[in-house]
């Protein structure tokens, strides 16, 4: 989904910052009709009994849950769709439960898969549950700050999400109890007709009994949350439709046994909403197993790498889904985009909005500073503190002694700190006029930077070619240089 932002971000960075600041000062009201808003934003793929659900949402606070598979220790960009859907419910005063599959993660969900998952490591799953709990809480905490800057909503109505793991109730239930509670109300022919099951039954590898029972476990999750937390709505990806229906049916049969004799329609006490899956242009699902995950954890995907533009064909769709911008403003953004698509205004706005929501305004500032340094043609307005803060923790930032910075030739510094692979490679860069310092070509091999040429008298930005960068910042405490060949004199 996220593509390299790169050189397309060269223009109008300061204008974008100013526009965002103005936008943040405006307060937008939360649209009253939640289902209408979710539908307009593209969140609704399937929905059970929309008229009854609408009446339920208007009558009282509902409890909504979405499941998260603990196959990794971090949320990825694909999780943003269900999380944003939960956020819309939360902002309107409904209670949300992000449910981590600490138990079901050991079994493996066959939905959307042609092959069976590898057996899960129990300790790894437990570690992932812990990490995901922290990541989910962080997301909602930051998303609420993001929401506060963009829309007016009643904070007193908003309830903090209750992150939990289904291991809490599934671990203690024995097989006989489960069969007597769930199995007796489940028909095998119905289970066989689930799309996730049918797809696997026709595959060469088939479907194990373990994965076959996954839908029973997820159905029980919905029933347990309904019974103990008053949960009435389950949100999931479109590949979860069959599992969600299984939960709704189980709730109806356990609470009203006569329902099994009269109707297979969704029970009015429980509802299901599925969202589209986030896919690549080729239709491949984003995620860990697909090998194309963009992680929300900055330790796994840097803020700079996260701050990327979206594909042209999807930018309007993703502005609706991944931001809280009102529909009128999105329409204005897209109108400007259609007039000058080469400016990539819509992509840059999308990148800024999503990065601020996930990584805060400080993270956005870092990402924009990095983008400016890598792809802008001048560094006017940047300060030494902005640069060092943006590159904090990045190996491209090296703190050096001021004397070394001023007394060594730029060619030697480039080789010493691995901007160039060797001293001779650094010399060749100079001769080819491909080595730059603070965006000025290094004129000769013996050239040394002066203090006046440093940004704020402290920072030198060395660049080799178009996008290979090294930041050298003067420090009273010198850093030992990495081992390298002795630079030529």
Is the full-model pTM beyond 0.85?
no
Reported as a single tens digit per residue, the pLDDT across 154-183 is: 666 677 899 999 999 999 889 888 888 888
Sheet strands (E) in 139-276: 151-152, 164-165, 233-237, 271-275
Model confidence band, residue 16 (pLDDT cutoffs 50, 70, 90): very low
CB atoms within 10 A of CB 95: 20
Reported as a single tens digit per residue, the pLDDT across 243-276 is: 899 999 999 988 866 554 444 444 568 999 999 9
CA distance 143 to 430: 47
Percent of the chain with pLDDT over 70: 80
Q: Assign 250 to helix, strand or coil.
A: helix
**pLDDT at residue 390, rounded to an integer:** 83
Instruction: Tell which residue, 102, 107, 209, has the closest CA to residue 166.
Output: 102
The sign of the CA dihedral 13, 18, 21, 22 is: negative
**Is residue 103 pLDDT above 80, yes or no?**
yes
- State the Cα angle at 105 between 66 and 1, rounded to 5°: 60
CA distance 85 to 237: 11
Mean pLDDT, range 122-141, rounded to an integer? 95
All domains in the chain, ordered by first residue: 2-275 (3.40.50.620), 392-475 (3.10.290.10)
Percent of the chain with pLDDT over 90: 52
């Amino acid at each position: 989904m996220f593509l390299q932002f790169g050189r397309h971000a060269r223009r109008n960075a300061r204008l974008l910052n100013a526009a965002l600041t103005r936008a943040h000062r405006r307060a937008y009201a939360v649209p009253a009709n939640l289902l209408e808003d979710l539908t307009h934003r593209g969140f609704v793929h399937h929905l059970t009994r929309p008229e009854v659900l609408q009446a339920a949402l208007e009558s009282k606070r509902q409890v909504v849950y979405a499941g998260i598979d603990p196959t990794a220790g971090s949320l990825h960009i694909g999780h943003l769709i269900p999380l944003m859907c939960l956020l819309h419910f939360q902002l309107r005063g409904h209670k949300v439960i992000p449910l981590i599959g600490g138990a079901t993660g050991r079994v493996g969900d066959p939905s959307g898969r042609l092959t069976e998952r590898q057996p899960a490591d129990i300790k790894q799953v437990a570690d992932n549950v812990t990490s995901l709990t922290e990541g989910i809480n962080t997301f909602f905490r930051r998303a609420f700050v993001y929401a506060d800057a963009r829309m007016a909503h009643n904070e007193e109505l908003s309830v903090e999400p209750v992150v939990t793991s289904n291991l809490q109730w599934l671990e203690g239930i024995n097989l006989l109890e489960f069969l007597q509670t769930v199995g007796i109300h489940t028909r095998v022919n119905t289970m066989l007709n689930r799309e996730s099951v049918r797809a696997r039954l026709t595959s060469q590898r088939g479907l194990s009994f373990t994965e076959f029972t996954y839908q029973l476990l997820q159905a029980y999750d919905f029933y347990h949350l309904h019974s103990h937390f008053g949960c009435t709505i389950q949100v999931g990806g479109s590949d979860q439709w069959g599992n969600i229906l299984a939960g709704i049916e189980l709730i109806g049969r356990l609470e009203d046994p006569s329902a099994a004799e009269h109707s297979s329609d969704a029970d009015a006490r429980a509802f299901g909403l599925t969202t589209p899956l986030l896919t690549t242009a080729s239709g491949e699902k984003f995620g860990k197993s697909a090998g194309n995950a963009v992680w929300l954890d900055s330790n796994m995907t840097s803020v700079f790498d996260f701050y990327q533009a979206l594909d042209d064909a999807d930018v309007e769709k993703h502005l609706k889904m991944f931001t809280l911008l009102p529909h009128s403003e999105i329409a204005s953004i897209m109108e400007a985009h259609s007039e000058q698509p080469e400016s990539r205004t819509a992509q840059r706005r999308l990148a800024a909005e999503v990065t601020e929501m996930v990584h805060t305004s400080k993270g956005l500032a870092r990402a924009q500073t990095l983008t400016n340094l890598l792809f802008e043609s001048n560094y006017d307005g940047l300060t030494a503190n902005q640069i060092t803060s943006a590159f904090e923790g990045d190996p491209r930032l090296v703190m050096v002694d001021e004397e070394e910075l001023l007394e060594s030739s730029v060619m030697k510094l480039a080789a010493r700190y691995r901007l160039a692979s060797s001293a001779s490679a650094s010399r060749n860069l100079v001769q080819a006029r491909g080595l730059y310092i603070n965006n000025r070509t290094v004129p000769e091999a013996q050239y040394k930077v002066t203090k006046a040429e440093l940004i704020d008298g402290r920072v030198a930005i060395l660049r080799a070619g178009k996008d290979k960068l090294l930041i050298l910042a003067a420090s009273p405490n010198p850093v030992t240089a990495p081992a390298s060949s002795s630079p030529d004199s």
